[in-house]
Structure 1
Amino acid sequence: MAPLLTAEGVALAYRGARVLDGVDLALAPAETLALLGPNGAGKTTLMRLAAGRLRPDAGRVRVEGRDPHADRAARAAIGWVPQEIALYPRLTVAENLGVFASLAGVPRRGRPQAVAAALALAEIEAVAGSLVGQLSGGYRRRVNIAASLMNRPRLVLLDEPTQGVDLAARAAIHAVLQRLSAEGTAILIATHDFAEAERLADRVAFMARGRILREGALADLLAGLRAGPPERELVLATAPAPAAEAVLRRAGFLPHEGGLAWRAAERGTGLDGAALLGQLRAQGVPASELRVRAPGLEALYLDALKPRAVPEPPPSLAMGGAR
């Protein structure tokens, strides 16, 4: 199937700093691609280029073969959902959607039908008459998504769509995105949530320093990773004393995100889970639980962002070549 969105050799600098550096990307109809990377990797900038909000310094972006920055018809095929809530708090949900339908160019006669369709798709009919400013964060996020759907776009771009919402709201937002995908909509989503990406994405792309470091079908990437030994995560009852911390590090564990969870830096220790847990406890480690599981998307991400050694050039090249 022909790609709906393509980016070819895209580069962009801001105030002299390179934000994107030769990015290539393609997204087909009914496909969901998750962008994963640290803050400052270039994910939001890439999405703003795809939305037509920015023009690249080099390379090109095309939506259905047209330039979204220069072509209004290309922009009409795009639904853009920024990380910030872009709604009018003193208007009701239905009134907000009516405003966005007008901005999207929906004819006046067709706006009530467009509003009703967006309310149904996002499953927010129950709050249609409520002021947006009085809604929970999760409902605001869902209305934010519904507002981008007024012209039934074929491409939807979402920047951190579930940031700051509870589990129920997160599940409701995921259901909306899965319905969109089932209807043939292409979805590009930037997220820091690995579980979210695993649930929604057909493909993932890992970004850092303005480049895509690795990209591919999620199932294929995970299959290759899971052919190896499982991950081991140790949960501690309390923070370890210096002596216990030294034991953990010798056993190959490192602290995970500064909490009480420690993960094996190298998977596979030669001991089964029960034996390893007993050995660590005997050496004074306040181990509460040892979890053994198949590696997931986070392991792929950490591997993709791991600094790679750059081989030194041969002596003849290092000295400027043979004379």
Structure 2
Amino acid sequence: MPDPAAELRDLAFSYRRRPVLDGIDLVLARGETVALLGPNGAGKTSLMRLLAGRLVPGRGRVRVTGGDPGREAGVRRAIAWVPQEIALYPRLTVRENLEVFSRLMGLPRGAREPAVVRALARAGLDEVAGRLVGVLSGGYQRRANIAVALLGEPALVLLDEPTQGVDQAARAAIHAVLERLPEAGAAVLIATHDFAEAERLADRVLVLQDGSLRLDGRLADLLAGLRAGPPEHEVALSEAAAPDAAAALRQAGFLPASPLTWRAGSTVAGGRDGAALLAHFRRHGVPVREIRVREPGLDGLYRDVTAGDRPRHPALKPAEMPA
């Protein structure tokens, strides 16, 4: 087995004496894309900052390409950190930003221009290379942010919510860039709240909650296990459910996914089909707009794990689930 791009062992980190992460063991392989899921405050950004060498663990060790990113500048140069915030100079063009950052990274003079040309092409930015960053759309700015991170041919790429706040077209363009990153042998870790994004991009899924890894599994295995079981039912409402309507939904095995969407798995009351469910809900005053039947997805698995329940599939070994 080749050396991993990154490795965490018995990692713990606290902020102002409050535990943020505890007992994290994780290996990121070269050429794989890993989605990091978890509720706000779970420790996702802290985990990524520890990998980037921007925080120092209270216990345990962090290794990237075999070295300590918190102590070794050479190791940090092998890591690309792409934060949520746009970290570019708005009054410079895209190309000028890349040229500036290539110097700041310490790339040799002769390597800078090839690195800029390569990063522009990999991020699909050739057509806007001469435009000021400040006048570009949010999607192009995020792609430029990613292009800066790729200048040094990193072994580990860390992305924090890479498509936050962009439209569908920009999101698809960013995904096309991210899908190609592992081809050069980099390990890619993406923190996201977007389950569809994780399903499209990831080879492997992590769920972090309360500072601990609750799930670590191959995406294909997880989805195959889920989809071997019964389909999910989803109720779309025309307005938020009043207390009596909410009680009827819960009695039928549904739980809220959002104010206007309720979902149920294999526990739909009485085995009713869609037409029977619709009639049942209308009798109880539930403002149903639509009932959908769909294959279970990563969002359902995430709900199971973060609720502390064992997932509805056999894909995970006992050691991969929380006690």
- Whether TM exceeds 0.5 here: the answer is yes
Instruction: Give, in whole Å, the separation in 2 of the partners of 1:76 and 1:245.
Output: 53
> Could you tell me the TM-score, scaled by structure 1's length?
0.91
Aligned length: 308
AA of the residue aligned to 2:264: A
Instruction: Give, in whole Å, the separation in 2 of the partners of 1:154 and 1:240.
Output: 49
Question: For residues 133-170 of structure 1, what are the alpha-carbon distances to aligned partners after superposition, in whole Å with 9 as ceiling and x for unaligned?
Answer: 11111111000000011111121111111111111111
Question: For residues 195-244 of structure 1, what are the alpha-carbon distances to aligned partners after superposition, in whole Å with 9 as ceiling and x for unaligned?
Answer: 10111011111001111011110111222222221111011233445443
Match of 2:198 in 1: 197
Unaligned runs of 5+ in 1: 310-323
Instruction: Give, in whole Å, the separation in 1 of the partners of 2:244 and 2:287.
Output: 11
Match of 2:144 in 1: 143
Map 1:250-289 to 2 at 5 A.
250-258=251-259, 260-264=260-264, 267-269=267-269, 270-289=271-290
Map 1:55-204 to 2 at 5 A.
55-204=56-205
- The verdict on how the C-alpha distance between 1:116 and 1:77 changes in structure 2, with shifts beyond 3 A counting, is same
Unaligned runs of 5+ in 2: 311-323
Shift of 1:115: 0.8
Shift of 1:276: 1.9
AA of the residue aligned to 1:165: V
Shift of 1:278: 2.8
Map 1:210-225 to 2 at 5 A.
210-225=211-226
Q: Is the 8 A contact 2:252 2:268 kept in 1?
A: no
CA RMSD of aligned residues (A): 1.7
Instruction: Give, in whole Å, the separation in 2 of the partners of 1:264 and 1:149.
Output: 42
Instruction: Give, in whole Å, the separation in 1 of the partners of 2:239 and 2:165.
Output: 28
AA of the residue aligned to 2:300: A
Three-state SS of the structure 2 residue aligned to 1:83 is coil
Three-state SS of the structure 2 residue aligned to 1:256 is strand
Three-state SS of the structure 2 residue aligned to 1:168 is helix
Match of 1:19 in 2: 20
* Percent of aligned positions that are identical: 62
Instruction: Give, in whole Å, the separation in 2 of the partners of 1:27 and 1:305.
Output: 22
Three-state SS of the structure 2 residue aligned to 1:7 is strand
- The verdict on how the C-alpha distance between 1:106 and 1:254 changes in structure 2, with shifts beyond 3 A counting, is same
Map 1:206-245 to 2 at 5 A.
206-245=207-246
Three-state SS of the structure 1 residue aligned to 2:258 is coil
Q: Is the 8 A contact 2:94 2:130 kept in 1?
A: yes
- The verdict on how the C-alpha distance between 1:109 and 1:203 changes in structure 2, with shifts beyond 3 A counting, is same
Three-state SS of the structure 2 residue aligned to 1:238 is coil
- The verdict on how the C-alpha distance between 1:242 and 1:73 changes in structure 2, with shifts beyond 3 A counting, is closer
AA of the residue aligned to 1:249: R
Three-state SS of the structure 2 residue aligned to 1:96 is helix
Q: Is the 8 A contact 2:5 2:186 kept in 1?
A: no
Shift of 1:284: 3.3
After alignment, is 43-52 or 72-81 more displaced? 72-81
Shift of 1:191: 0.6
Three-state SS of the structure 2 residue aligned to 1:204 is strand
Q: Is the 8 A contact 1:100 1:148 kept in 2?
A: no
AA of the residue aligned to 1:264: A
AA of the residue aligned to 2:304: D
Match of 1:302 in 2: 303
- The verdict on how the C-alpha distance between 1:153 and 1:294 changes in structure 2, with shifts beyond 3 A counting, is same
Shift of 1:108: 1.7
> Could you tell me the TM-score, scaled by structure 2's length?
0.91
- The verdict on how the C-alpha distance between 1:160 and 1:197 changes in structure 2, with shifts beyond 3 A counting, is same
Question: For residues 12-33 of structure 1, what are the alpha-carbon distances to aligned partners after superposition, in whole Å with 9 as ceiling and x for unaligned?
Answer: 1111101110111111111011
AA of the residue aligned to 2:292: R
Instruction: Give, in whole Å, the separation in 2 of the partners of 1:48 and 1:227.
Output: 37
Q: Which runs of 4+ in 1 moved over 6 A?
A: none
Q: Is the 8 A contact 1:230 1:268 kept in 2?
A: no
Instruction: Give, in whole Å, the separation in 2 of the partners of 1:205 and 1:74.
Output: 24
Question: For residues 98-155 of structure 1, what are the alpha-carbon distances to aligned partners after superposition, in whole Å with 9 as ceiling and x for unaligned?
Answer: 1111122211222121111111000011111111111111111000000011111121
Instruction: Give, in whole Å, the separation in 2 of the partners of 1:248 and 1:40.
Output: 30
Q: Is the 8 A contact 1:229 1:267 kept in 2?
A: no
